[in-house]
């Protein structure tokens, strides 16, 4: 394990190469963004359709920098007690029960209410100390000795209140716990926020982040990604698969297939030992690529033309 910022990226190219070595093919824009984020220690807001590798980007970055990845999955109703910290109520109760005798020992000899209170006062901080604190992802991320990559996944699913709470964390990298005071990050974590744009994030949050939009990849990039992720795939089939998926994306679908689906499909075809895209095979495996019955139906008419185009493309 190394410290987060010890390992500097020297250039944008350097990032691209190291990501490629870790089997993540990134466009120049992604690389530039990571380069800036790491050097200026700024959070990155990654937006884009589902399955284009937003989460993967954070994971790979952590892997390359050799720091732990702390992940916070957001959902409706997520609040501080689940994201930051919570007191271990049960443990606190248990301890007070168990230590009852000790408490009476402590109070021995004290006369009057005031004196007893004072004695307890001198010890009550014990019950609100880190022993009784249940750390949650954000707290963990701030406490990491060597820094970490913090992934706040699907931040658009969280409530506006939580978003407001994130502001303090992202700009100052510190949080306030009433009983303990302000806790500052030992080393600023590298933060990735991902969003599917199901709701518009507030300007205040956006302002604090670098904004990265990851679109569906173009043919060249997708082909490279596929060859890195599914290296066993023959070159002709790879070209055909990519060309086919690219054509499918042009259609008006409910859920357009993304890279993860392309990879899954390629693996499926590999498993079924196909050498070439063939109509019956494609039809049977289409459910890997498309996730809605209506989408599969909509494909029906185009299937043949898409396959023949894909064949032509791979011959070129």
| Site of interaction with other proteins (CB under 8 A) | 12, 28-29, 32-33, 35-36, 39-40, 42, 47, 76-77, 81, 89, 159-160, 199-200, 203, 206-207, 210-213, 215
Q: How far is the CB of 86 from other proteins (least distance, A)?
A: 9
Q: How far is the CB of 209 from other proteins (least distance, A)?
A: 9
Q: How far is the CB of 243 from other proteins (least distance, A)?
A: 25
Q: How far is the CB of 193 from other proteins (least distance, A)?
A: 13
Nearer of residues 208 and 255 to other proteins, judged by Cβ: 208
Nearer of residues 35 and 165 to other proteins, judged by Cβ: 35
Cα distance between residue 250 and residue 272, in whole Å: 27
Nearer of residues 28 and 250 to other proteins, judged by Cβ: 28
Nearer of residues 52 and 241 to other proteins, judged by Cβ: 52
Q: How far is the CB of 144 from other proteins (least distance, A)?
A: 25
Half-sphere exposure of 72 (CA within 13 A, CB side): 33
Nearer of residues 167 and 210 to other proteins, judged by Cβ: 210
Q: Per DSSP, what are the bridge partners of residue 104? A: none
Nearer of residues 176 and 197 to other proteins, judged by Cβ: 197
Q: How far is the CB of 253 from other proteins (least distance, A)?
A: 19
Q: How far is the CB of 285 from other proteins (least distance, A)?
A: 31
If you count them, how many residues does the chain have?
316
Cα distance between residue 53 and residue 59, in whole Å: 10
φ, ψ at 168 (rounded to 5°): -65, -45
The pair of three-digit structure tokens given for residue 130, joined into one six-digit string: 């880190």
Half-sphere exposure of 91 (CA within 13 A, CB side): 12
Using CA atoms, how far residue 273 sits from 182, 243, 276, 302, in Å, is 59, 19, 9, 24
Which contiguous run of DSSP H or E holds residue 306? helix 303-315
The pair of three-digit structure tokens given for residue 175, joined into one six-digit string: 């949080």
Cα Rg of the chain, angstroms: 26
Which contiguous run of DSSP H or E holds residue 193? strand 190-195
Cα distance between residue 16 and residue 31, in whole Å: 6
Nearer of residues 210 and 286 to other proteins, judged by Cβ: 210
E strand residue ranges, 102-162:
133-135, 149-153
């Amino acid at each position: 394990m190394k410290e987060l910022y010890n390992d500097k990226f020297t250039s944008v190219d350097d990032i691209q190469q190291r990501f490629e070595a870790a089997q993540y093919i990134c466009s120049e824009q992604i690389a530039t963004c990571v380069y800036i984020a790491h050097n200026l220690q700024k959070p990155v807001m990654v937006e884009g359709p589902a399955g284009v590798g937003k989460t993967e980007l954070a994971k790979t970055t952590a892997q390359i920098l050799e720091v732990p990845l702390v992940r916070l999955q957001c959902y409706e109703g997520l609040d501080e007690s689940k994201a930051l910290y919570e007191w271990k109520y049960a443990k606190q109760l248990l301890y007070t029960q168990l230590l009852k005798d000790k408490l009476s020992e402590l109070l021995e000899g004290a006369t009057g209410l005031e004196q007893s209170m004072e004695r307890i006062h001198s010890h009550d901080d014990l019950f609100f100390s880190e022993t009784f604190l249940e750390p949650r992802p954000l707290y963990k991320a701030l406490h990491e000795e060597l820094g970490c990559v913090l992934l706040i996944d699907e931040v658009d699913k969280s409530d506006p209140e939580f978003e407001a709470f994130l502001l303090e964390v992202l700009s100052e990298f510190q949080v306030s716990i009433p009983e303990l005071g302000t806790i500052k990050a030992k080393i600023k974590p590298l933060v990735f926020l991902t969003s599917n744009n199901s709701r518009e994030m507030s300007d205040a949050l956006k302002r604090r982040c670098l904004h990265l939009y990851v679109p569906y990849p173009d043919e060249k990039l997708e082909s490279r990604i596929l060859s890195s992720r599914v290296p066993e795939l023959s070159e002709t089939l790879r070209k055909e698969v990519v060309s086919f998926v690219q054509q499918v994306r042009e259609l008006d679908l409910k859920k357009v297939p993304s890279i993860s689906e392309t990879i899954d499909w390629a693996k499926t075809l590999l498993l079924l030992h196909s050498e070439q895209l063939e109509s019956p095979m494609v039809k049977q495996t289409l459910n890997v690529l498309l996730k809605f019955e209506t989408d599969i139906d909509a494909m029906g008419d185009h299937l043949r033309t898409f396959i023949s185009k894909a064949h032509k493309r791979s011959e070129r």
